[in-house]
């Protein structure tokens, strides 16, 4: 079956469904609309207050610190200082490589596992699989890293045979700096992928059964339906996952810090930008430089997030 046939079938089914849904309905009364608006405002007010207190105001203060020194305007001198720091570019490269490995692996594996799980028709089996996917997400970040300290140590690891197959005889060999992006991506995937698989599964349930049935009648197989129907209709959800995962990935801190302590310095204390900002603030007592690093992280995250928003059509109406 060709992609053109699948596309035409999908459009026809969607148009038919849309035309049936355009039946006239009575509009809500003004009082009901006001009541709904008040309830919505009440529910969002708590989040708004916390966002202002712990998001907006700290960001404004960070901007103030980044452009001042000893209370006086310093222009871009703080940014010049951190850019000239020999630790900055390596830390930036470490974070960029980790985020690239993690996002690519996350999108491919999560979408694939969600589609496979959705294709399982046995209810108890599908429910059990989703439950097991979600279990690792119940562990907090630091607890998860502590667990992985044992997994990555060939002497006590339950998967030591895999580590031996790769030629790793000690914990220090496993956590070499050139291998850390993959290790951190595996830890992050193990911790957070399960929740995203469940979310993608729910999004797949919202795809019209008429569209899927029409594609089956036209002879589409599971791979064709996944590639031409399910994945395109998951585009917004994939973009949403990429944005939140990107925001979390650029804040890499707990994993390298715990591994640095466990490896007694094999993993450097300035491995990530967040670690470097921590050193600036609490080791060098330079909060202005730390704020400048945080603004660089914010700018990069906002730029990449904007790319996913517009390319993924996150705010487009279907």
Q: How does 285-295 read in b/e, with b if 16+ C-beta sit within 10 Å?
A: ebbbbbbbbbb
Which of these, 260, 299, 261, 294, lies nearest to 277 by C-alpha position?
A: 294
Band of the pLDDT at 146, cuts 50, 70, 90? confident
Question: What percent of the chain lies above the pLDDT cut of 90?
Answer: 42
Helices (H) and strands (E) in the chain, counts: 17, 2
Identify whether the C-beta of residue 300 lies closer than 8 Å to the C-beta of residue 250: yes
Q: Which pLDDT score, from 0 to 100, does residue 28 have?
A: 53
Instruction: Examine residue 178 and state whether it is found in any structural domain, yes or no.
Output: yes
Mean local confidence (pLDDT), 113-118: 92
Mean per-residue pLDDT of the chain: 85
The average pLDDT across 232-253 equals 90
Mean per-residue pLDDT for 50-70? 93
Query: How many domains, in total, are found in the chain?
Result: 1
Confidence check: pLDDT of 89 > 90: yes
Structure-model confidence comparison of residues 120 and 143, the more confident one: 120
Instruction: Tell me, yes or no, whether 261 lies in a domain.
Output: yes
- pTM of full prediction above 0.85: no
Q: How confident is the model at residue 314 (pLDDT cuts 50, 70, 90)?
A: confident
Domain that holds residue 276: 45-311
* For residue 141, pLDDT beyond 80: no
The answer to whether the beta carbons of residues 126 and 120 sit under 8 Å apart is yes
Of 15-19, 49-53, 263-267, which gets the smallest average pLDDT? Answer: 15-19
> At residue 12, does pLDDT exceed 50?
no
Strands (E), the chain: 68-69, 72-73
Q: Examine the pLDDT at 169 and tell me if it is beyond 70.
A: yes
Average pLDDT over residues 197-216: 88
Asked whether residue 81 is assigned to any structural domain, the reply reads: yes
In a domain, residue 226? The reply is yes
Average pLDDT of 103-121?
92
Given pLDDT bands bounded at 50, 70 and 90, which one contains residue 217? confident
Q: What CATH number does residue 155 fall under?
A: 1.10.3720.10
The answer to whether residue 249 is domain-embedded is yes
Band the pLDDT of 35: cuts 50, 70, 90. confident
Residue 173 lies in a domain: yes
For residue 154, tell me if it sits in a domain.
yes
CB 110 within 8 A of CB 198: no
Arithmetic mean of pLDDT, 117-142: 80
d(CA 226, CA 134): 23
The torsion angles phi and psi of 284, rounded to 5 degrees, stand at -100, -5
In a domain, 296, yes or no: yes
**Stretch 243-269: mean pLDDT, rounded?**
89
Residue 277 has pLDDT above 80, yes or no: yes
Please, what sign has the CA dihedral across residues 221, 224, 228, 233? positive
For residue 295, the model assigns a pLDDT of 93
Provide, rounded to the nearest whole percent, the portion of the chain with pLDDT above 70: 88
The residue whose two tokens read 């670690």 is: 275
- pLDDT confidence bin for 220, thresholds 50/70/90: confident
pLDDT value, residue 19 = 46
pLDDT computed for residue 308 by the predictor: 82
pLDDT tens-digit series, residues 90-99? 999 999 999 9
Secondary structure class of 50 (helix, strand, coil): helix
């Amino acid at each position: 079956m060709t992609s053109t046939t699948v596309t035409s079938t999908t459009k026809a089914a969607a148009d038919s469904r849309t035309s049936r849904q355009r039946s006239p309905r009575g509009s809500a009364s003004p009082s009901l609309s006001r009541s709904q608006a008040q309830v919505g405002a009440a529910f969002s007010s708590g989040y708004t207050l916390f966002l202002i207190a712990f998001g907006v105001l700290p960001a404004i203060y960070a901007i103030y610190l980044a452009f001042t020194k000893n209370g006086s305007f310093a222009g871009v001198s703080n940014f010049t200082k951190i850019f000239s720091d020999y630790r900055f570019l390596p830390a930036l490269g470490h974070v960029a490589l980790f985020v690239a490995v993690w996002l690519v692996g996350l999108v491919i594996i999560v979408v694939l596992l969600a589609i496979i799980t959705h294709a399982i028709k046995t209810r108890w089996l599908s429910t059990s699989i989703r439950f097991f996917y979600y279990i690792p997400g119940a562990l907090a970040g630091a607890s998860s890293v502590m667990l992985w300290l044992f997994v990555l140590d060939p002497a006590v690891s339950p998967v030591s045979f895999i580590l031996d197959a790769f030629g790793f005889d000690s914990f220090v060999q496993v956590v070499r700096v050139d291998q850390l992006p993959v290790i951190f991506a595996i830890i992050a995937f193990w911790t957070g992928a399960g929740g995203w698989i469940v979310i993608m599964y729910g999004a797949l349930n919202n795809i019209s059964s008429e569209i899927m049935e029409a594609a089956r009648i036209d002879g589409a197989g599971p791979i064709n339906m996944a590639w031409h129907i399910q994945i395109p209709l998951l585009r917004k959800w994939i973009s949403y996952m990429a944005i939140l995962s990107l925001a979390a990935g650029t804040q890499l801190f707990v994993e390298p810090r715990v591994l640095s302590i466990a490896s007694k310095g094999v993993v450097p204390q300035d491995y990530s930008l967040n670690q470097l900002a921590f050193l600036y603030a609490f080791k060098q007592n330079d909060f202005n430089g730390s704020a400048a690093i945080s603004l660089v992280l914010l700018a990069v995250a906002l730029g990449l997030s904007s790319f996913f928003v517009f390319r993924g059509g996150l705010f487009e109406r279907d």
